Amino acid sequence: MYSVHRVLCLACCAMLAAALTGCQTVSVQSFDLARVTPGPGEILKVDQIMVLADVTDSTSQHKIFFQERNLLKAFVGAMPDLPYQMGFSSFAGVSQDKWTMVPLSTGTLETLADCAANLEFLGSTTPLHQGVSVTGREFAGQEGHAALVVFSDGRSHPHKRVLEACEAVADAHRGELCIYTVNVGLSEPGKELLEKMASVTGCGHAWQADEVSTPAGMEAMVREIFFTMAPAPEERTVVLPSEVLFDLDKSVLKPEGKAAVDKVVADIKAHTLDQLVIEGHTCDLGSAEYNMGLSQRRADSVRRYMIEQGIDGSRITTEAYGETRPAVPNTSEPNRKLNRRAVIRYSFTG
């Protein structure tokens, strides 16, 4: 009978402990993930990123530190191998010369991987505000888009000082800074603080450890931090009347034709990813075969001139339509003039 009571007592104690912690420990096993690459239509949005790791006493409970290190290893291992600045920092309530600190630089993925794999537990208190402030100095004066990624249990007080530190870091950056957090802990106040940190600048996100403890979950996190969808290209169409470009039945650009094309060239040079299509069109005077050849020669003439003005020829294609696509019916000479034209189509991204 005594043994039965002992078992019941132990069971009650376990239930009480679970109630006090607020949730069950998430067991995160080590896993590898290939470096994430942009998906269809995605582009890199990050110019700078700092990863901040909590290595304080509170993470020693329930093996949290080891699970945090497994998540850090997976995250750093999945960071894209693309041109951006990256850095790494750990923090604890000990002398800062014992913290891990890798300043912002490019091409240091292997260094960050070593930091994550060999992360050391330092113990002591959780000065999260100091960790944010010291790490955030790397962002001061930077431009573009930055990300601060914090792995912590959020057990730091007072919350106000942490949030003020986040605001100060965001203010010191000259562009947009987003704060992302991963809660590796068990306390509800810690979860609340990390969620508030992620909302400081209005563009961050807060994850729970179990949400990113699988390859699929971690990839989704990396993709959200690093990538965005490329803006849809907008197509422009420039219609140049033939009398501006060429003399009648000619394919040599006139001076006023060159001036008209120069305006397009200036716009194209400002949008280096644009692709161009030059269409040649004629009216119905002359044979269909002759008009097809004339429209091709005129399109080719515009293309050659653009190349002479510094546009890469690989960006320009030509299409000859002759008299097959009139803008208006060929029922009068004024209409025929409108049909003798070159059309330049190109897309731009702003």
Domains (range + CATH), the chain: 26-229 (3.40.50.410), 234-348 (3.30.1330.60)
What per-residue confidence (pLDDT) applies to 6? Answer: 34
User: What global pTM score does this model have?
Assistant: 0.67
Q: Tens digit of pLDDT for each residue in 279-335?
A: 999 999 999 999 999 999 999 999 999 999 999 999 999 999 999 999 999 999 999
Q: Give me the sign of the Cα torsion angle 158, 152, 127, 138.
A: negative
Cis amide leading into 83 (omega within 30): no
3-class secondary structure, 195: helix
Token output for 25: 């420990």
Residue-level pLDDT at 5:
36
Report the pLDDT value the prediction gives residue 248, as an integer from 0 to 100. 79
- Greatest C-alpha distance within the chain: 113
- Are 344 and 277 in contact by the 8 Å Cβ rule? The answer is yes
Q: Is the dihedral of CA 106, 31, 197, 97 positive or negative?
A: negative
31-62 burial, b at 16+ Cβ within 10 Å, e below that, comes to eebeebebeeeeeebbbbbbbbbbbbbbbeeb
Residue 68 pLDDT: 96
Per-residue CA distances from 240 to 278, 292, 328, 346 (Å): 11, 18, 15, 14
Query: Which tokens sit at 216?
Result: 């699929």
Residues 153, 129 contacting (CB under 8 angstroms)? no
Question: Could you give phi then psi for residue 82, rounded to 5 degrees?
Answer: -135, 165
Categorise residue 77: left if φ over 0, alpha if ψ from -120 to 50, beta otherwise: alpha
Q: What is the pLDDT of residues 33-68, one digit of tens each?
A: 999 999 998 999 999 999 999 999 998 877 899 999
Confidence of residue 7 (pLDDT cuts 50, 70, 90): very low
* % of the chain residues with pLDDT over 90: 72
- Give the residue-averaged pLDDT of 19-25: 40
Query: What would the pLDDT profile of 111-122 be if each residue is shown by its tens digit?
Result: 999 999 999 999
CA distance 198 to 330: 64
H or E, element range at 125: none
pLDDT at 26: 56
* Residue 278 pLDDT > 80: yes
pLDDT tens profile 163-217:
999 999 999 999 999 999 999 999 999 999 999 999 999 999 999 999 999 999 9
Give the N- to C-terminal CA distance of the chain in Å, as an integer: 80
